[in-house]
Amino acid sequence: GENVEQHPSTLSVQEGDSAVIKCTYSDSASNYFPWYKQELGKRPQLIIDIRSNVGEKKDQRIAVTLNKTAKHFSLHITETQPEDSAVYFCAAWMDSSYKLIFGSGTRLLVRP
């Protein structure tokens, strides 16, 4: 069935280090992959997204890579800062069912 797996579930890094979160999806027809950041007590907010016609997208310290053959995509955060601490969700748009399927989330802690 439709599924998005996300790893790791928790990630702790030292300020200034890089953080990588990985997701795999099941539907080979998926063509849109957003990433959301949810700070404690707040709503999820889109931080970056990628469509299937590109392999990589970057926005300042955040980048997303997509490997359609392997059906996985990753979020890369460089030079992490304490304000990057949050829960991050990946998602994949399933054209077959017209739904956005979310991963289970990664709790990122950036230690000062």
Partner 1 sequence: DVKVTQSSRYLVKRTGEKVFLECVQDMDHENMFWYRQDPGLGLRLIYFSYDVKMKEKGDIPEGYSVSREKKERFSLILESASTNQTSMYLCASSGEGAGETQYFGPGTRLLVL
Site for partner 1, rule CB under 8 A: 6, 9, 31-32, 34, 36, 42-46, 49, 51, 89, 93, 95, 98-105
Are 85 and 69 in contact by the 8 Å Cβ rule? The answer is no
Cβ of residue 70: shortest distance to partner 1, in angstroms? 20
Amino acid identity of 36?
Y
Closest to partner 1 by CB, 25 or 36: 36
Cβ of residue 45: shortest distance to partner 1, in angstroms? 7
Q: Which residues contact 94 (CB under 8 A, 6 or more apart)?
A: 2, 27, 29, 30, 100, 101
Are 11 and 107 in contact by the 8 Å Cβ rule? The answer is yes
Cβ of residue 14: shortest distance to partner 1, in angstroms? 25
